[in-house]
Amino acid sequence: MAKIFCIANQKGGVGKTTTTVNLAAGLAKVGQRVLMIDLDPQGNATMGSGVDKRKLELTIYDVLLESASVAEARLKSDKLVEGGCSYDILGANRELAGAEVELVDVERRERRLKQALNAVDQEYDFILIDCPPSLSMLTLNGLCCAHGVIVPMQCEYFALEGLTDLVNTIKQVHANLNKDLAIIGLLRVMFDPRITLQQQVSEQLKTHFGSKVFNTVIPRNVRLAEAPSYGVPGVVFDPSSKGAQAFVAFAQEMVERIESL
Ligand code: ATP
Ligand code: MG
């Protein structure tokens, strides 16, 4: 049975999508079977995996509205296959923004994704869900089916403040909707060790959250930022870059963590 993880942080632009696609590629590289779900109407994880969101026939939107199954809507990307780090993709585009409204009157609407994944979870080791920068119905659907949340964060002053809201939401979902849910870990991303404040916040994180802070640190690395314009994760775009190596190390850390879960 697959382990399902949401990559979530309601703060925008903190590195959720970069983490999702590179972790997916890193896991594929170390031999894991991975499904990557784009749960953000921006469709960045879809594009960043080499799938053109404008040309999608079926997306996560159809799955949430039960007009398609995951097996029907998922895709493979030629670019990922060529790069030797292939994972399956359940894509999204702006159509997904309408799902929130269309599901308003539906019973158990927060469990749509969970139900849909039951049919495929034997086929994967990992299912990774890229969440939008909000604590919306879409994010809730992700949290309802996940075993854990991976929280990417930049080591900046306001990062800790935003974390309180996320931790509270996760506690509520845990109490009311999904007993399996836990924060698997906080991932320090876009890290620049030359900046004293970042080192200080990093130390604070370790003091407050202890072993919940992943050992792997993702450095600020321009190759990771360049990769999406080529429609591939950094792990595929430039495997020898510091950023790519960090994500492969993170994939290995995740494999070890789930063995001890
Ligand atoms: P949103 O909230 O809009 O979904 P996000 O949290 O998914 O954003 P990303 O899109 O992953 O964030 O990253 C924001 C920007 O930072 C992107 O331009 C990305 O390329 C860049 N970026 C992410 N991680 C790194 C890194 N380690 N080094 C350099 N640039 C990075
Ligand atoms: Mg994103």
> By C-alpha distance, which of 43, 27, 147, 28 is closest to 97?
43
Ligand 1 centre distance from Cα of residue 115 (Å):
30
Q: Is the model's pLDDT at 161 over the cut of 90?
A: no
pLDDT of residue 162: 79
**DSSP-assigned states of every residue in 181-217:** -EEEEEEEEEE-TT-HHHHHHHHHHHHHHGGGEEEEE
- For ligand 2, the distance from its centroid to the CA atom of residue 7, given in whole angstroms, is 9
Q: What tens digit of pLDDT does each residue of 120-151 get?
A: 999 999 999 999 999 899 999 999 999 999 99
Domains of the chain from N-terminus onward: 3-260 (3.40.50.300)
How much is the pLDDT for 160? 79
Q: How far apart are CA 24 and CA 27, in angstroms?
A: 5
Residues lining ligand 2 (ion), CB within 5 A? 16-17, 44
| Digit-coded pLDDT (tens) for 92-120 | 999 999 998 999 888 889 999 999 999 99
Expressed in angstroms, the distance from the first to the final Cα of the chain is 14
* pLDDT in the model for residue 216: 98
Average pLDDT over residues 157-164: 81
Cβ atoms 14, 161 nearer than 8 A:
no
Using the mean position of ligand 2's atoms as its centre, give its distance from the Cα of residue 103 in Å.
Answer: 22
Would you put residue 41 in left (φ > 0), alpha (ψ -120 to 50) or beta? alpha
> Does residue 261 carry a pLDDT above 80?
no
- Cα-Cα-Cα-Cα dihedral of 209, 1, 113, 181, to 10°? -20
165 φ, ψ (degrees, to nearest 5): -60, -45
Whether 216 is in the pocket of ligand 1, judged by its Cβ within 6 Å, is: no
* Per-chain mean pLDDT for the chain: 95
Question: Does residue 186 register a pLDDT over 90?
Answer: yes
Q: Which amino acid is at 251?
A: A
Give the pLDDT of residue 107: 86
Q: Is the pLDDT of residue 47 over 80?
A: yes
pLDDT of residue 163: 87
Q: CB atoms < 10 A from the CB of 260, how many? A: 5
Q: pLDDT of 61-78, one tens digit each?
A: 999 999 999 999 999 999
* 44 C-beta closer than 6 A to ligand 1: yes
